[in-house]
C-alpha cells in the first residue's frame, strides 16, 4: 500500500491532466503592414513598364564608428522612386552584420536623382530595392550602391 497516499494523488493529478482538452494553438499574428506603401502593377502593366534610370547616384557616407572599428557591412533598403525621380520612403529590410546608421543611408538615397519609371509614356512611382555595401576595413573606406532593382526585373 502506498505510504501517505502520495502516489495515488500524483496518479490522479496525472490522469486529470491527460483527460483535459489539448492546448489550443496561439492565435496567428496578423501580418505587419509595410511602412513603405509599394505601388502595384498588374502583370500586363509590368510588360509595358520602363524602369527608373539613375541620373545622380546615391552618395552614402561611412559613419565614424564603422571607420574607427574598420567594419564591413551590407544593408538592403527598399523605397519608392516618385514621379519626380526622388526617393521618398526608405525602409531597411536587412542590415548585416549589425544595425547600421540608417541616417546616412536615408540621406544618400534621398539626395540621389532618377529618371522616373514610365508606364505608357507617363511617369509613375515605383518601389525599388537597393543593396549597399560599405567597406571600412582598410582606408580609404568605400561604399558600393547597386542600381535599384524594381518589380519588373
> Does residue 3 sit within a domain?
no
In degrees, rounded to 5, the angle at the alpha carbon of residue 91 between the alpha carbons of residues 116 and 28 is: 125
Residue pair 93/76 in contact by the 8 Å Cβ criterion: yes
Tens digits of residue pLDDT in 110-147? 999 999 999 999 999 999 999 988 887 777 777 888 88
Range of the domain at 87: 28-145
> Does residue 151 sit within a domain?
no
Helix or strand or coil: residue 54? strand
Tens digits of residue pLDDT in 5-23? 444 444 444 444 444 444 4
The pLDDT assigned to 37 comes to 62
Rounded-to-10 torsion of CA 84, 89, 94, 97:
90
Specify the CATH number for the domain of residue 72. 3.30.2420.10
The C-alpha cell at 91 is 525602409
Structural domain count, the chain: 1
Amino acid at each position: 500500500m502506498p505510504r501517505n497516499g502520495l502516489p495515488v494523488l500524483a496518479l490522479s493529478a496525472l490522469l486529470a491532466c491527460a483527460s483535459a482538452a489539448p492546448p489550443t494553438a496561439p492565435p496567428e499574428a496578423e501580418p505587419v503592414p509595410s511602412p513603405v506603401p509599394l505601388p502595384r502593377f498588374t502583370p500586363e502593366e509590368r510588360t509595358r513598364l520602363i524602369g527608373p534610370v539613375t541620373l545622380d547616384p546615391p552618395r552614402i557616407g561611412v559613419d565614424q564608428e564603422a571607420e574607427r572599428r574598420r567594419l564591413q557591412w551590407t544593408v538592403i533598403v527598399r523605397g519608392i522612386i516618385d514621379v519626380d525621380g526622388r526617393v521618398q520612403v526608405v525602409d531597411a529590410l536587412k542590415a548585416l552584420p549589425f544595425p547600421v546608421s540608417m541616417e546616412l543611408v536615408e540621406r544618400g538615397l534621398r539626395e540621389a536623382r532618377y529618371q522616373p519609371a514610365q508606364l505608357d509614356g507617363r511617369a509613375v512611382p515605383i518601389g525599388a530595392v537597393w543593396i549597399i555595401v560599405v567597406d571600412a576595413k582598410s582606408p580609404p573606406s568605400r561604399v558600393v550602391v547597386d542600381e535599384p532593382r524594381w518589380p519588373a526585373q
